[in-house]
Amino acid sequence: MSGKRPSLADSMRQAVAAEAPPPSPSAAPTTPPRAIRSEPAERPTGFHAATRVGKKKVTATLDPRAHKQLKSLANERDTTVEALLNEAIADLFAKHGLSRSA
């Protein structure tokens, strides 16, 4: 099999064009209705697990080998990467004489 895979976007455009009736010659061009601005609604809060309420996320950039090693260690210990990182942060705080709740 050679050649490029067909574009999904092009396929969708063709399907929509095939379903749409042709415009009648006497029909005036229509413009979409203008959006009615209302008072801004409250921003949706989204889903947050109960265990994460009131907590902040922290990210770190790791070398791919370190990331793989961390995931492997979590798997070997039958735990999560998040649990290992929490343990490592607790050890770091203890090393520097800080309390875990800091």
Q: Which residue has the higher pLDDT, 4 or 25?
A: 4
Q: Which residue has the higher pLDDT, 73 or 43?
A: 73
Helix axis angle, 64-76 to 81-95, nearest 10°: 100
DSSP state of 34: P
Q: Is 73 in contact with 85 (CB distance < 8 Å)?
A: no
pLDDT, residue 62, reads: 95
pLDDT in tens, 73-88: 999 999 999 999 999 9
Per-residue pLDDT band at 6 (split at 50, 70, 90): confident
